[in-house]
Amino acid sequence: MQSIKHLANLCLFFILVNCGSKTENKSSETNSNLKPNIVVIYADDLGYGDVSSYGSTELITPNFDRIANEGIKFINGYATSPTCTPSRFSMLSGIYPFRSRRAKILPGNAPLLFEAGKQTLPSMLHDAGYFTGVIGKWHLGLGDENMNWNDDIKPGPREIGFDYSYIMASTNDRVPSVYVKNHRIDGLDPNDPIEVSYQKNFEGEPTGKENPELLKLHPSHGHNQSIHNGISRIGYMRGGKSALFIDEDMSDDFLKESKQFINDHKDEPFFLFYSLHQPHVPRIPHPRFAGKSGLGPRGDVILEADWAVGEFLDELDKLGLAENTIIVFSSDNGPVLDDGYHDEAETKIGDHTPKGGLRGGKYSLFDAGTHVPFMVRWPAKIKPAVSNALVCQIDLTASFAALTGQENKTVDSENILDALTGVSSQGRKNLLLGQGNITSYRKGDYVLIPPHKGNKIINKWVKNETGRDLNMQLYNLKEDRGQQNNIAAEHPEMVREMLEEIEAIRNK
C-alpha cells in the first residue's frame, strides 16, 4: 500500500514538473532546476485576525496579503500547538508534539529537541536535492547537556537536515541574546566568552528585578533577569558583548540574511525556513516603524514584519524566482496581548481584533490558539483561491515529499499536496491539537475538547482563556465560529467516537 502511494506521488511530481517546464528557461533545463523552490515564512504569535486579507481593518498588511491574494488563502489552517516549540517541532519533524516528552516551551539553554537520525522536513528536502536553510527564530534547543556556547554548538539545525543556519539561539526574550551561524555564535570575541545560566545570576551583573532604572521596557511578569539593550530577559548571561543582537535591527538582520540566501542559491533548488520573530515579546520595532500602526509596538512590529516580507518577495521577483517558488506563510500559534512586558499591547488595541472572532488565543485549547493565517503561493501552478480545506503545518513534510518524489517516513504528517495546491478542496479529515496530554481534536467542522483540570484564564496578565473545563466540550465551528455553544450533551455518540479516534491516534 505504502509503495503504491509512493509511486502515485512520484507520478504526480513528474506531471507537475513536466507542466512546469513550459515556463522554464529551456537552456538551463535540467531535472533539478525544475524543482520549485520552497520557502516557509513563519510568524511568531501572529493571530488569525492580524492580517488584512483575513479580515483585519485596523492593521493593514499589504505584503502578507500579496501571498494570500496571489495564492490560496486557507481559512482552516492550523499550527499543531498553541505555543512555539511544539508547533515548530511538529512542522519540522512531522510528529505530533505529544509523542515527545520535551516538546514544550523550552528554556534558552535546552538541548536539541529532535531525535538523531529521524527524517525531518529539511532532511527530506536535502535528500531531494535541495539546498536547505533556516534563518530567524529557532526555539528548538541546541547542543547536548554539556554544550559550551563558546565552542561548536551542536547538534543543531545542521544535524537535522539544514545545510545552512543563521538563527536566534532561543527566543528574543530568553538568553543568550545572540545569533548562531552554523555551529558558532556569530561575532563572538574569543577574549570575551559568553556565560549562560538559567539557575543563578553572575556576580556583579544587573537584573531587571534589582535594577529597573536601567530598563527602557519594563516587564509585567517574569522577564526580570539579565538586562541587555535596556530590556530584561528570561535567564542570566554575562560577556559575549560583541555578539549580542540589537532588537531594533533583528528584522533587518534576518531579512538581509534571507535575501543573501536566495541570491547564493538561486541556481539550485532551495528550501528556506524564514522564521520571523514578530510579534513575539519583547516587541521592539526599528525606529522606522515605531508609532506607525497607532496600535502600539505590537502593531508596529507586525507592520515591520509585513514590510520585510514585501522586501523578500521583491527580491524573489528581481531574481526571476517568484514564478517557481512555493511560499507557505503561517504562524506558530495564536495571538496574545500582555505576554510579559508593559508594551501597551492592551491599552492601544483600540478596535483591532487579533483573534479575528475566534475564541482563546496563545496557550489556549480554544480555536484561536492554533487556528492561524495559512497561505500558499506558487504562481507557476496555483490559481488564486480561498480554500476551506483543513490543513496543518505538520503536513508539509509528507506533502513536499510527494511533490519531490521522496518517501514520507514521519508518523503524523499527511500528504495534502492536492489541497495545498488547490487541486482539491479536501485536506485532512481530522487533526489533534495541543501538547502532551492537553489536547483538543478537530474532525470536519467539529472540535472536541476533552475534560481538563485547570484555571479558566491563563493568568492575570495573559488574559486568554485556557479552554480547560471539567465538562466535555464539543463545538461546531461552521455554525459557531466563536465556540459559544457547547453541544457535547446533544451528541454523545459523536463524542464517544471522537474520543476513540484520539486514542487511536495516540496509540499509532
Half-sphere exposure of 404 (CA within 13 A, CB side): 29
* 175 touches Ca ion (CB under 5 A): no
Q: Are the C-beta atoms of residues 464 and 47 closer than 8 Å to each other?
A: no
Q: Contacting ligand NG6 (CB under 6 A), which of 84, 147, 153, 313? A: 84
| Residue 456 to residues 84, 224, 338, 470, Cα–Cα distance (Å) | 21, 26, 17, 10
Footprint of Ca ion on 311-350 (CB under 5 A)? 332-333
**Shortest CB 107 distance to ligand NG6, Å:** 9
Q: From the list Ca ion, ligand NG6, none, which binds 222 (C-beta under 5 to 8 Å, kind-based)? A: ligand NG6
173 lies in the site for ligand NG6, by CB under 6 A: yes
Q: What is the CA radius of gyration of the chain?
A: 22
Which one among 35, 45, 270, 435 touches Ca ion, defined by CB under 5 A?
A: 45
Q: Which of these segments, 37-45, 264-272, 299-307, 365-373, binds Ca ion (CB under 5 A)? A: 37-45
Cell numbers at residue 110, please? 535546552
Of 12, 84, 281, 305, the one binding Ca ion (CB under 5 A) is 84
Least distance in Å: CB of 282 to ligand NG6?
9
Q: Cβ closer to ligand NG6: 84 or 110?
A: 84
Q: Whose Cβ is closer to ligand NG6: residue 233's or residue 377's? A: 233
- Total site size for ligand NG6, rule CB under 6 A: 17
83 in contact with ligand NG6 (CB under 6 A): yes
Interface region with ligand NG6, contact rule CB under 6 A, candidates 143-151, 217-225, 243-251, 317-325: 217-225
**Shortest approach of Ca ion to residue 105 CB, angstroms?**
9
At its nearest, how many Å lie between ligand NG6 and the CB of residue 225?
A: 10
Q: How far is the CB of 98 from ligand NG6 (least distance, A)?
A: 16
As measured in angstroms, the least distance from the Cβ of 221 to ligand NG6 is 5
| From 114-122, 215-223, 464-472, 498-506, span contacting ligand NG6 (CB under 6 A) | 215-223
Q: Do 334 and 362 contact (CB within 8 A), yes or no?
A: yes
Task: Print burial letters for 210-219: b (CB count within 10 Å at least 16), e (below 16).
Answer: eeeeebebeb
- Contact, 10 vs 296, CB < 8 A? no
In 3D, which of 119, 118, 117, 88 has the Cα closest to residue 102? 88
Q: Cβ closer to Ca ion: 54 or 131?
A: 54
Q: CA 168 → CA 79, 108, 306, distances in Å?
A: 21, 10, 19
**105 contributes a contact to ligand NG6 by CB under 6 A:** yes
* Minimum separation from the CB atom of position 200 to ligand NG6 (A): 17
The string over 415-428, giving b where at least 16 C-beta atoms fall within 10 Å of a residue's C-beta and e elsewhere, is: bbbbbbbbeeeebb
Residue 293, SS3 per DSSP: coil
Q: What angle do CA 250, 79, 426 make, to 5 degrees?
A: 135
Q: Select 84 or 135, whichever has its Cβ closest to ligand NG6.
A: 84
Which residue in 267, 506, 262, 269 sits closest to 400, CA to CA?
269
Binding segment for Ca ion (CB under 5 A), chosen from 84-92, 217-225, 233-241, 403-411, is: 84-92
Query: Out of 196, 281, 301, 372, which residue is the one contacting ligand NG6 (CB under 6 A)?
Result: 281
Q: Sign of torsion, CA 103 99 494 419?
A: positive
DSSP letter assigned to residue 105: P
Question: Least CB distance from residue 83 to ligand NG6, whole Å?
Answer: 4
Q: Is 222 in the site for ligand NG6 (CB under 6 A)?
A: yes
Which residues fall within 8 angstroms of residue 246, CB to CB, at 6 or more apart?
229
**Residues across the chain:** 508
Assess 469 for contact with Ca ion (CB under 5 A): no
Residue 494 has a CB neighbour count (10 Å cut-off) of 15
State which of residues 39, 41, 44, 289 lies at the interface with Ca ion (CB under 5 A). 44
Computed from CA positions of residues 345, 347, 349, 353, in that sequence, does the dihedral angle turn out positive or negative?
Answer: positive
Which residues are at the interface with ligand NG6 (CB under 6 A)? 44-45, 83-84, 105, 139, 171, 173, 221-223, 234, 280-281, 333, 339-340
Which residues are at the interface with Ca ion (CB under 5 A)? 44-45, 84, 332-333
